[in-house]
Amino acid sequence: EDQDKGDVWLPSLVTETPQEGFELAIKLSRMGVKSTQSDKEVLFREREKYAQNGEALIHASEVIAVHFQTVAAANNYWK
**Residues of the shown chain interacting with a copy of itself in the complex, contacts defined by CB under 8 A:** 8-14, 17-19, 22, 26, 28-33, 35-37, 42, 46-47, 49-70, 72-74, 77-79
In degrees, rounded to 5, the angle at the alpha carbon of residue 72 between the alpha carbons of residues 71 and 75 is 90
| Segment holding 12, helix H or strand E | none
Least CB distance to a copy of itself at residue 40 (A): 13
Least CB distance to a copy of itself at residue 2 (A): 15
68 and 77 in contact (C-beta within 8 Å)? no
Closer residue to a copy of itself in complex, CB, 2/17: 17
3 and 9 in contact (C-beta within 8 Å)? no
